Amino acid sequence: MSIYKRKNSKFYYCEISFNGKVLIRSTKTTKKSLALRFESQLRETLYRQHVLGDRPTIKLSTAILEYSSSKLGSVNKQNLDAQIRVLKTQLCRVVTVK
């Protein structure tokens, strides 16, 4: 069974082996039925991403934060802030225009 409790935790954990990798995630629940549901949803999500090619959807603000964190070492802070400001301005123009 891939659902278990650790000694010093009240939450259930699920362990899934997928594509030769072992994923261990906390289900953040104390009920076994909810933990089993979490595990089946995680398996389905992994299957959809790897086999069917589905991409997880992210918010625009999260994408901008990931962009800024990826550029932190390569450009100076002032240049990065200007790039983000221009990116947000351009995206606001595109989103509000119908």
Q: Number of helices and strands (H, E) in the chain? A: 3, 3
- Whole-angstrom distance, CA of residue 93 vs CA of residue 82: 17
- Whole-angstrom distance, CA of residue 10 vs CA of residue 7: 8
Which range in 9-13, 76-80, 90-94 is most confidently predicted, on average pLDDT?
9-13
Predicted pLDDT at 82: 86
24-78: per-residue pLDDT in tens?
A: 999 999 999 999 999 999 999 989 988 888 887 888 778 888 888 887 777 788 8
The pair of three-digit structure tokens given for residue 67, joined into one six-digit string: 């962009």
Name the residue with tokens 């104390």. 30
